[in-house]
Amino acid sequence: MTATDSAGMEDRHPMTGNAMDGNAEGGMERHTYDVVVIGAGGAGLRAAIAAHESGARTAIVCKSLLGKAHTVMAEGGIAASMGNVYPDDNWEVHFRDTMRGGKMLNNWRMAQLHAQEAPERVMELEDWGALFDRTEDGLISQRDFGGHKYARLAHVGDRTGLEMIRTLQQRAVALGIDVFMECTITDVFKDPSTGSGQVGGAIAGAFGYWRESGRFIVFDAPSVILATGGIGKSFKVTSNSWEYTGDGHALAMRAGASLINMEFVQFHPTGMVWPPSVKGLLVTESVRGDGGILKNSDGERFMFNYIPEFFRAETADTVEEADAWYEDKKNNRRPPELLPRDEVARAINSEIKAGRGTPHGGVYLDIASRRTPEFIRKRLPSMYHQFKELADVDITSEPMEIGPTCHYVMGGVEVDADTQESAVVGLYAVGECSGGMHGSNRLGGNSLGDLLVFGKRAGEAATAYAASLGAARPQVDDADVKAAQASALAPFEVEGGENPYTIQSDLQQSMNDLVGIIRTRAELEQSLHEIEVFKTRAATMVVEGHRQYNPGWHLALDLRNMLIVSECIAKAALAREESRGGHTRDDFPGPNAEWGTKNLVVNLNAAGTGVDLHEKPLPVMPDELKKYFETPAAPAPTKEA
Amino acid sequence: MAYQLKLRIWRGDKSGGEIKDYPVEVSEGEVVLDAIHRVQGTQAGDLAVRWNCKAGKCGSCSAEINGKPRLMCMCRLSDFAEDETITVTPMRSFPVIRDLVTDVSFNYEKAKELPSFSPPPRDADNKRRMAQIDVERGQEFRKCIECFLCQNTCHVVRDHEENKPAFAGPRFFLRYAELDMHPLDTNDRRNLAQEQAGLGMCNITKCCTEVCPEGIKITDNAIIPMKERVADVKFDPLVWLGAKIGLRNKDNDGRTEL
């Protein structure tokens, strides 16, 4: 097929040292590092850069090729109170917006650190070659987004995530950090004789396989940073890619760490609804930030009917005021289209349910009638391209049809706010797979900032811990390696079972139907029942073929993670009897003050077959931060000087 | 509406393979990657294919569709007649690993050879200033999603494996041009582009530009200007004479040759 074949290929991958032959005998690859980072999106890359720069021998292990992680899909920008557009902006305002957006369920310390450190993390990207859009004065431009008081998102058109991942990737390459691409981690190892954390045993290493060859690989490392992203692939309509199977969530649970806030899943208000093959694909919030409005099939701009009490004082209640805001933010309040995502998604859902949806079951997102074609093509080039190529829709001349899509999980590994360390010594989690930062609902633009701020913190903390150990490192037990190997190969041993694609597809439909944007007790109970059935079916799933680049096998292994994470979501959603942020209960509408004081924590049960759940009080915010929330609803942004 | 697509897919590995028939039901609005996924889910669970975003943003699902290098996720079935056969084969310029998956490590190796961005210190207020019009040139090149279709189609390496060591390919000429046009970079990579990356081997046939799914004008906006700038230092007799007699070339102010 290619010229190299006739020339004869090396038995090993030239860059990774990967054995190319899936059936090769001769033991397992083994590597020793100080810090192993699992995942190469924004969080993983930033963590690896920090670890390397702090002096750690660092490896990045990722399921896809370098530069393909889901961060490339982020469109809007990085929220950071740099004050380039509005000098009044500062970390306190950003902190307040973040906490209010999360309906006060956020870990206050994470929200504080994030708001304080995001501006410098953005400047670092520029030092490393990122080319952000500029203001008239030549500074990094900042754009409006839902829930942010000031225009605050550093951006590059509507492809900010691509810019960010490419910048971090190029930085990591320039530093010479080792990258293990297309390599999936299936287990983390602990040494039971070490560790003093809440959970016995400190991290000793990790186990995985090369997707390309199917060969196994062991990492000996005292620090493992999980940066695996989210869980969206458990839902049918999602903006997430195949990689989002909750790997980090599940690895952490199996190691003994806990997850918090798993009931909070963000349904982004604007996903494509047609054609069917792209249903769920993200339409950036920047469309609304740049002037787009939502209309139902009657042509009504319906968001004015859905302004919640919590945000009433800072939201425009007339079309005139909303439209004037884009030009004059001082004297007008924000349009209701720019309420936080949970509010907008619920409103769209209600309009569709009330029979005011579009032919393909969405609502209209219209920027064509409000901005010039030149403006739209300049500010939203990817959206223009995406609709033109995939749906034959010219967004400069007609409205888009959009509807809610599963986008992000606020829940994740419970970590220490300053170091991102979990309850397991040596195990860190950062980015979407960690929990707490965003509370019950994430503001747009706060994800990219989260990746950078806590990626750096985790990389540094993991390095400091590894260095503190000296030569006395936790050891990987050979019996654990054998067990991990047997577990990974189990799907090949079964005969006559089901194909993993079918189980995955049924799980996605079930989660979408029963644990989606609006939830009820009966449906959540039904969902937990169905998950048990999927677990039984998955126990006997079968894969065809051999170990070399076999997506069926890869899915079979990922599916285990999807099932456990789905159970966490359904169980926590059933327990939380209120509606808050990304969790809406039809049978418990509205927030409940008592529920507002506690997190739900989930752990793997003792038998390792399901999840246990308990309540835990929220960390208490110190008085000097409480003052930002004392006025019931702050003066409208606009009335300030 | 739904119909039976005559789909053919190359199956095999480095030891060889063949194009096999996979008739599959497809429906309105679908793309080639949907058809591939349906084959994977129902007929060939072990069919190897790379993909991630399914939105033309990550550049993972590159392949050749009826011989033309394209992203499978952006190739709509409605571009073909319903009775037309669609044949999907792996990218030809890279060694096959399995089925539609190729070993693209050539590109990651070339990326390591390129000296990174090197800015001066920040301004006194700890910020940096650049004009929008100046960053836009580089921004066009940074739209690159690294699908490597330009690398795959470039005839300098497509049928000439022997050129690979001396030739970085269009994707990296884009990167050289981006850094050369960066308003703040202090490195001068013109000599490297010519000597190490093999810029001179490109004879601007524009094949790369034609296959770029991002519509980047690789040849016109990156390669040709970069060639001109290399020619300025290398072949311009006045510049040569100036350098000989020690005249200072202001174009080099603030830049260090690598």
Q: Is residue A74 part of a domain?
A: yes
Query: Quick one: A305 and A228 in the same domain?
Result: no
Query: Quick one: A372 and A349 in the same domain?
Result: yes
Query: Quick one: B53 and B149 in the same domain?
Result: no
* ipTM for the assembly: 0.94
The verdict on whether omega for the bond into residue B69 sits within 30 degrees of 0, i.e. cis, is no
**CB half-sphere exposure, B13, CA atoms < 13 A:** 17
Which residues in chain A land under pLDDT 70?
1-27, 195-198, 631-641
Query: Quick one: A435 and A545 in the same domain?
Result: no
Contact between B188 and B257 under an 8 Å Cβ cutoff? The reply is yes
**Closest chain B residue to A11 measured between Cα atoms?**
B14
Query: Quick one: A391 and A445 in the same domain?
Result: no
- Report the domain count for chain B: 2
- Three-state SS for A416? coil
pLDDT value of position A26:
47
**CB half-sphere exposure, A159, CA atoms < 13 A:** 26
Last residue of a domain, one of A358, A382, A406: A406
Q: Is residue A288 annotated as a catalytic residue, yes or no?
A: yes
Query: Quick one: A65 and A185 in the same domain?
Result: yes
Query: Quick one: B200 and B94 in the same domain?
Result: no
Last residue of a domain, one of B102, B126, B141: B102
Residues 362-391 of A with CB under 8 A from B: 382, 385-386, 389-391
Contact between A583 and A346 under an 8 Å Cβ cutoff? The reply is no
- Report the domain count for chain A: 3
Q: Give backbone dihedrals phi and psi of A30, rounded to 5 degrees, phi first.
A: -140, 135
Rounded to 5°, the CA angle A456-A459-A465 comes to: 140
Give residue-wise pLDDT tens across range B124-150.
Answer: 999 999 999 999 999 999 999 999 999
Give Dmax (Cα) for chain A.
75
Beta partners for A409? A265
Q: Give backbone dihedrals phi and psi of B130, rounded to 5 degrees, phi first.
A: -145, 150
**Closest chain A residue to B13 measured between Cα atoms?**
A1
**Cβ atoms within 10 Å of A183's Cβ, excluding its own:** 25
**Cβ atoms within 10 Å of B91's Cβ, excluding its own:** 24
pLDDT value of position A23:
45
Q: Is residue A598 part of a domain?
A: no
**Cβ atoms within 10 Å of A588's Cβ, excluding its own:** 18
Q: Does A534 touch chain B (CB under 8 A)?
A: no
Please answer yes or no on whether B117 and A129 come within 8 Å at the CB atom: yes
Residue span of the structural domain in which B139 resides: 105-257
pLDDT value of position A133:
97
Provide the CATH number for the domain around residue A351.
Answer: 3.90.700.10
Q: Which of A143, A268, A519, A537 is catalytic?
A: A268
pLDDT value of position B122:
97
Chain A positions touching B29 (Cβ under 8 A) are: 274-278, 391
- Nearest Cα residue to B94 out of A486, A87, A13: A13
**Closest chain B residue to A126 measured between Cα atoms?**
B128
Chain A positions touching B159 (Cβ under 8 A) are: 3
Please answer yes or no on whether B138 and A274 come within 8 Å at the CB atom: no
pLDDT value of position A495:
81
Collect contacts of A419-423 with beta carbons under 8 A, ≥24 apart. Answer: A419/A457, A419/A458, A419/A461, A420/A225, A420/A454, A420/A457, A420/A458, A420/A461, A421/A458, A421/A461, A421/A462, A421/A465, A422/A252, A422/A255, A422/A257, A422/A258, A423/A197, A423/A198, A423/A199, A423/A256, A423/A257, A423/A258
Q: Does B148 touch chain A (CB under 8 A)?
A: no
Query: Quick one: A453 and A327 in the same domain?
Result: no
Contact between A553 and A547 under an 8 Å Cβ cutoff? The reply is yes
Query: Quick one: A370 and A420 in the same domain?
Result: no
The whole-angstrom separation of Cα B108 and Cα A16 is 11
Give residue-wise pLDDT tens across range A553-586.
Answer: 999 999 999 999 999 999 999 999 999 999 999 9
Residues 35-64 of B with CB under 8 A from A: 40-42, 45-60
- Three-state SS for A3? helix
Q: Is residue A148 part of a domain?
A: yes
Query: Quick one: A257 and A274 in the same domain?
Result: no
Buried b (16+ CB within 10 A) or exposed e, A446-477: bbbbbbbbbbbbbbbbbbebbeeeeeebbebb
Query: Quick one: B98 and B155 in the same domain?
Result: no
Last residue of a domain, one of A370, A390, A406: A406
Query: Quick one: A239 and A290 in the same domain?
Result: no
- Residue found by looking up tokens 């009826």 in the block: B66
Query: Quick one: B120 and B216 in the same domain?
Result: yes
**Structure-block tokens of residue A51:** 């670890």
Query: Quick one: B233 and B145 in the same domain?
Result: yes
Collect contacts of A520-527 with beta carbons under 8 A, ≥24 apart. Answer: A520/A585, A520/A586, A520/A587, A521/A574, A521/A585, A521/A587, A524/A570, A524/A573, A524/A574, A525/A574, A527/A570
Query: Quick one: A256 and A194 in the same domain?
Result: yes
Please answer yes or no on whether A132 and B101 come within 8 Å at the CB atom: no
Last residue of a domain, one of B87, B102, B117: B102
Last residue of a domain, one of A468, A500, A520: A468
Query: Quick one: A395 and A426 in the same domain?
Result: no
Q: Is residue A214 part of a domain?
A: yes
- Residue found by looking up tokens 């000599």 in the block: B191
Query: Quick one: A285 and A430 in the same domain?
Result: no
Give pTM, 2 decimals: 0.93
- Nearest Cα residue to A249 out of A465, A409, A419, A460: A409
Query: Quick one: B113 and B233 in the same domain?
Result: yes
Q: Where are the alpha helices (DSSP H) in chain B?
A: 32-42, 105-112, 132-142, 149-153, 155-158, 170-180, 190-195, 207-211, 224-234, 237-244
Give residue-wise pLDDT tens across range B176-219.
Answer: 999 999 999 999 999 999 999 999 999 999 999 999 999 999 99
Q: Is residue A638 part of a domain?
A: no
pLDDT value of position A28:
82
Last residue of a domain, one of B102, B118, B139: B102
Predicted confidence band of residue B236 (pLDDT cuts 50, 70, 90): confident
Q: Does B108 touch chain A (CB under 8 A)?
A: yes
Q: Give backbone dihedrals phi and psi of B121, rounded to 5 degrees, phi first.
A: -60, 160
Q: Is residue A608 part of a domain?
A: no
Q: Is residue A479 part of a domain?
A: no
Q: Is residue A554 annotated as a catalytic residue, yes or no?
A: no
Provide the CATH number for the domain around residue A524.
Answer: 1.20.58.100
Residue span of the structural domain in which A34 resides: 29-266+408-468
Q: Does B165 touch chain A (CB under 8 A)?
A: no
Q: Where are the alpha helices (DSSP H) in A160-212?
A: 160-175
Query: Quick one: B134 and B251 in the same domain?
Result: yes
